[in-house]
Amino acid sequence: MPRSPKNPNKEIRMISRRNWLKTGAAAGVASIAASATSTASAASGAADTYDVVILGAGTGGLVTAIESFDLGLKPVVLEKMDWAAGNSLYASGGVAAWGTEQQEREGHPESREAFEADMMKVSEYRADPELVKTYCDNIREGVKWLVGPMGVKFAKIRRKPWPLNYRMLNVDGQGLTGGGRLVRDLLAQCEKRGIPVLFNTKAVELVQDDSCRVAGVKCETEKGFKNFMANDGVVIATGGFSANREMLNRYMGGPLSRLALRGSPFVTGENIKLSEKVGAQLVHMDQFHCGPIVEATHTNPNFVIDAGQGIDVNPKGERFMDEAFTYTQKSMAAATQTPNNYAYHVIDEHWATSSKAAKRFLGMNSPVYIADTIEELAQKMGADPKTLKATVDEYNKAYSEGRLKELTPPSSLANPQPLNKPPFYAFPFQGGITATFGGPKINTKAQVMSTERRPIRGLYAVGNAAGGLFYGNYIGGSQLGGAVVFGRIAAADMASKHKKA
């Protein structure tokens, strides 16, 4: 788009529109106006200088920006897309915590010891215990900060299967996904402070000074390359690489690179590409979270396959996993043990939520099959009626004889129900990737570590961009929780080292 470099006001207007930050443009204006004079010479290497340069406008990035600002630093957030396109927007908005005021008030005294132990347990004891400890040390304050100055509202806490228990505080989406609401709230706080959030600005390379310190970022912008220099630090908050098929293939192998995508299509591995070049130690690169999704309609049937009753069948109508699997294990089984990563949870009216759940998915134009007989259900699913009928008959017989655990595969649900109360429902699900866990290893100050186990000066990573906190699985809500905790820690560390001019 042609713009006159002679008219800085026009430049300001363009960027403030893109920011959608009406009043925020005020401060955006200040910083951008300062740089406007150099606009004409941007191609010749002009740079803007801030205290903190943050890459990615997701939860981790926005938290870091707000906290940096409140600690007296001058941050800028650079987002490669023209909206805050990270995984947070797709999240239900859970924040995993223990001992918060809300948990105490609602009568759920989750202990720190048990929380920390379970974080380690779900990671198969491979998470960095120091990072887990740091999470546990800071999550209560993090939630307090969200509820207080950030104005985030949480819904009433409900009990969920272990390891969530009463640990997941869910952002009250008020008509949106909880994660979408959280990002809205955080963007509003940036706007209130006049923190510039610059869109269509993609970091392509970290800039190091003569002392080898990370001093800035080279970015692609609509006007060409531009450097953003940082007095106190560059923070990688770009998420992982769940949407980068080539990287998934490289680090996890072909079959897992074909998982359906549950989150943002633009989470493409800048955490690795940027940090590897400056010698970051990359850890847990083959690790990710798997969950259910219906790819064609982007609906999430996790609560259906987690119902605690019903059976899981492949497209032929055969059982192929223990129904006691968690939704993560079920999703992985669908991805790896069905020909086209497609399975069904078959359930009946014994589950009180059946018709409500069906209505919800049908309302989103997502397939759910309903029939009064198993044979008719099979026909609607495109399965062989005889096969599905035989599967259900065998299941019901084993149920009545109390030997469900003797089936192949065994079915070991704690409170199973027979499948004999029509109508019958078949809810499709596929295995999907939620997020990758691998990334540049951080220490307890959110500094990125080198392959020589030393902090890389001037470089931080937060949220899913950082490696070390998760392995195998995670307690639902600790991804957003980690983004809040380590975003605030990164800001505090940079503020503590800030030299007043």
Partner 1 sequence: MKRMLVLLAAAIVIPVSAYAADSVPTLEGYHASKGMKVPGGATPKTADCLMCHGGSYAALAKTTEKVKPNPHFNHFGDRNCDTCHRWKEEPVLSCDECHKFTTLKMPLAVKKN
The contact set with partner 1 (CB under 8 A) reads 1, 13-14, 16-18, 20, 22, 82-85, 89-90, 173, 175-177, 179-181, 183-184, 187, 296-299, 364-366
Count of other CB atoms within 10 angstroms of residue 61 = 32
DSSP string spanning 70-84? HTT--EEEE-SSSS-
The nearer residue to partner 1, 25 or 494, going by C-beta atoms, is 25
Q: Are 405 and 412 in contact (CB under 8 A)?
A: yes
The nearer residue to partner 1, 144 or 223, going by C-beta atoms, is 223
| Cβ at position 265, least distance to partner 1 in Å | 9
Quote the CA–CA distance of 8 and 14 in Å, as a whole number.
Answer: 10
Quote the CA–CA distance of 27 and 7 in Å, as a whole number.
Answer: 18
Quote the CA–CA distance of 270 and 488 in Å, as a whole number.
Answer: 21
The nearer residue to partner 1, 12 or 324, going by C-beta atoms, is 12
Closest CA to 183 of 96, 262, 88, 265: 88
| Cβ at position 29, least distance to partner 1 in Å | 14
User: Please, what is the angle between helix 129-147 and helix 478-497, to 10°?
Assistant: 90
The nearer residue to partner 1, 89 or 392, going by C-beta atoms, is 89
| Cβ at position 185, least distance to partner 1 in Å | 11
Q: What residues have CB less than 8 Å from 226, skipping those under 6 apart?
A: 42, 46, 47, 48, 201, 218, 219
Instruction: Label the pairing between strands 455-461 and 447-449.
Output: antiparallel
- Three-state DSSP class for residue 23: coil
| Cβ at position 350, least distance to partner 1 in Å | 30
The nearer residue to partner 1, 189 or 299, going by C-beta atoms, is 299
Q: Are 165 and 81 in contact (CB under 8 A)?
A: no
- Three-state DSSP class for residue 442: strand
Give, for 480, the enclosing helix (H) or strand (E): helix 478-497
| Cβ at position 123, least distance to partner 1 in Å | 29
Where helices occur in 81-170 by DSSP H, the ranges are 101-105, 112-122, 129-147
| Cβ at position 243, least distance to partner 1 in Å | 12
> Which backbone phi and psi does 331 adopt, to 5 degrees?
-65, -40
The nearer residue to partner 1, 216 or 301, going by C-beta atoms, is 301
The nearer residue to partner 1, 49 or 221, going by C-beta atoms, is 221
Count of other CB atoms within 10 angstroms of residue 400 = 11
The nearer residue to partner 1, 251 or 429, going by C-beta atoms, is 429
| Cβ at position 24, least distance to partner 1 in Å | 12
Residue whose entry in the numeric block shows the structure tokens 């963007």: 187
**DSSP 8-class letter at 141:** H
The nearer residue to partner 1, 297 or 337, going by C-beta atoms, is 297
The nearer residue to partner 1, 196 or 233, going by C-beta atoms, is 196
| Cβ at position 205, least distance to partner 1 in Å | 27
Closest CA to 424 of 361, 360, 381: 381
Buried b (16+ CB within 10 A) or exposed e, 83-93: ebbbbbbbbbb
Q: How many residues does the chain have?
A: 501
| Cβ at position 163, least distance to partner 1 in Å | 26
| Cβ at position 395, least distance to partner 1 in Å | 32
